[in-house]
Amino acid sequence: MKSILVTGYSGQLGFAFAELLKRSNWDGIIATPSRSELDWSNLESIQNYFAKNTFDIIFHAAAYTNVELAEEQEDQATFINATSLISLAQCIDASKTWLIYFSTDYVFDGSRKEPYNEHDTPAPLNAYGRSKLAGEGVVQRLFPQHSIFRVSWLYGNRGKNFFLTMLSLGATKDHLNVVNDQLGSPTFVDDLAQDIYQALLLHFNGQCNVHGLMHYSPEGIGSWYDFAQQIFNLAQIPINLSPVSSDAFPQKAKRPSYSKLDNTLFQSKTGIVPASWMKQLEHCWDKKKDAQ
């Protein structure tokens, strides 16, 4: 029986993973504290929470994720995504807890034009990417049992994400400009949660070892424009789409023009082959239709 803390339950990935655990009859406590019970921006909150609660596994999906705002609030982003984990390590027996941390394709600058693997040198272009890279460093230094999964372009049927934004714009607009000079892999959080869950089970059964740093990425690569096109095709929304360069949408945070993550290591360790990003999008659309 293993007790697990899933942080970020009100967000996309935390919710998907905790719900999957519940459906799968996880044999152990599943804790999903709200921000008022456990606030990663507040040392006292972290100390109080972990003085009362201990876990075998921490699936850490809570994070400062606002890429634009992080440009103005880098200290806060860094505290939540990195510094708070130093406090965590001081509050718990870090040698006995498996910390699963999620990082980002935005640790890379996009200057490469072939998929980034775990040996490529990070060079984040924005404050969010720097804060997550700092988090990776803390996790590697202070948590002997850790997994770091770098993931990209998350979306799902709740929260704020590109998939839901496109559907709501598609309901009111007949024309949209969408960026086509940033390439990556959109990732459906339910598929990500399912693949990570399978990987954990294999790990517990001694069939693989998923400690360490790994890239998780669906097969295939696309731009935001390609992603939008597929969303509107599936939803059968007849909208006129124009591909535009990122300059058409000036933003504070620079984004890499290429951030495809190479998932070879994840596949070779676990034998799990993530579905293609188009297939994952179909899964998401099917779930949305089923829920209606």
Ligand X SMILES: NC(=O)c1ccc[n+]([C@@H]2O[C@H](COP(=O)([O-])OP(=O)(O)OC[C@H]3O[C@@H](n4cnc5c(N)ncnc54)[C@H](OP(=O)(O)O)[C@@H]3O)[C@@H](O)[C@H]2O)c1
- Point out which residues bind ligand X (CB under 6 A): 8, 10-14, 35, 39-41, 61-65, 80, 102, 104, 132, 151-154, 159
100/123 Cα distance (integer angstroms):
22
Residue 64 or 258: which CB sits closer to ligand X?
64
132 versus 260: smaller Cβ distance to ligand X: 132
CB closer to ligand X, 80 vs 234: 80
* Residue 169: partners with Cβ closer than 8 Å, 6 or more residues away: 176
Nearer to ligand X, 168 or 242 (CB): 168
- Pick 45 or 238: Cβ nearer ligand X: 45
- Smallest gap from Cβ 65 to ligand X, in A, equals 4
CB of 175 to ligand X, least distance (A): 26
Give 170 or 186: the residue with its C-beta nearer to ligand X: 186
In this chain, which residue has its C-beta nearest to ligand X?
A: 11
Nearest-approach distance from CB 31 to ligand X, in angstroms: 13
Q: Sign of torsion, CA 260 253 38 156? A: negative
CB of 68 to ligand X, least distance (A): 13
Catalytically active residues, by annotation: 128
CB of residue 160 to ligand X, shortest distance in Å = 7
Residue 126 C-beta: closest distance to ligand X, Å: 12
**Closest alpha carbon to 281 in 222, 224, 234, 236:** 234
**Closest alpha carbon to 141 in 199, 88, 104:** 88
